[in-house]
Amino acid sequence: MRVGPGSIYPSVRTPFHVTTNDGVVLVGEVAAPLQKSKGAVLCLHPLPTAGGMMDSHIYKKAANRLPAMADLTVVRFNTRGTSSEAGASTGEFDNGKAEHYDVEAMLNYCFDVLKLENLWVVGWSFGTDLALQHAKDPRHKGLILLSPPLRTTTDEQLRYWNSDQRPVIALVPELDDYLKPDQARTRFSIVPTIKIIAVDEAKHLWLGEPSVHRVLSEITSIVTGVNQKLPLEF
């Protein structure tokens, strides 16, 4: 059957609550494969004041597809002050500042509680700023950035990644509303090791199955280390 927007495949789904060091309670869900996991992604969602949440469509589709199609574990959560069908995280939106507690708590949860291996941090839009600024835990394998706007990340914060040898890969839509591929190459040039992948005809929100398929295939290839395209029928 052809894979489509409503496709949901078998996985082990577990809701969770995680408390940050400053007392905020985060809600989320783990979607794990039925068999041994080949790797995992921690998803940092788009801007909550613009509707971003753990159910933003790329991440929801990742949770619905990747455990079965790629044997990957997908961890999603709402940052402070953000709500979705899974519930509301306590606290208040802080434009990426106090959210460092959220990122650190979730990385600790992934490693100390879930015992995940081969974990990558995936940020989308606002989530890319969280990843670049706060995802420095030495235990994860690297960053995957979707539609990075570099809205709050300073050049100084970017330069940190010159001293960190882990891979940073950015998928930049050709038709992005905030940072198109040529602009991204200029902004990211202070960190020559960051890999920019320009995606033709895509937009910031990655709407449409061709864009979703491309993003999820790229994530799978990066995490597994095997260049592959996900099947169009499953």
The tens-digit pLDDT sequence of the chain (234 residues) is: 999 999 999 999 999 999 999 999 999 999 999 999 999 999 999 999 999 999 999 999 999 999 999 999 999 999 999 999 999 999 999 999 999 999 999 999 999 999 999 999 999 999 999 999 999 999 999 999 999 999 999 999 999 999 999 999 999 999 999 999 999 999 999 999 999 999 999 999 999 999 999 999 999 999 999 999 999 999
**Per-residue pLDDT, 54:** 98
pLDDT of residue 226: 97
- CA distance from start to end of the chain: 6
In terms of phi and psi (left: phi > 0; alpha: psi -120 to 50; beta: otherwise), the region of 224 is alpha
- Which of these, 81, 69, 66, 164, lies nearest to 122 by C-alpha position? 66
Q: How far is residue 12's CA from residue 174's CA, in Å, rounded to a whole number?
A: 35
Whose structure tokens read 């995606």? Answer: 199
The token pair at 96 is 């990426």
Res 168: pLDDT: 98
Alpha-carbon gap, residue 105 to 46, rounded angstroms: 18
What local confidence, expressed as pLDDT, does residue 79 receive? 99
Q: Please report the pLDDT score of residue 29 as a whole number.
A: 98
pLDDT at 90: 98
pLDDT for the residue 93: 98
Domains of the chain: 12-224 (3.40.50.1820)
b/e sequence 50-86, b meaning 16+ C-beta within 10 Å: eebbbbbebbbbbbbbbbbbbbbbbbbbbbbbbebeb
**Residue 24 and residue 110: Cα distance in Å, rounded?**
17
pLDDT at 106: 99
Those residues with Cβ within 8 angstroms of residue 164's Cβ, 6 or more apart along the chain or in another chain: 136
Q: For position 53, what pLDDT does the model report?
A: 98
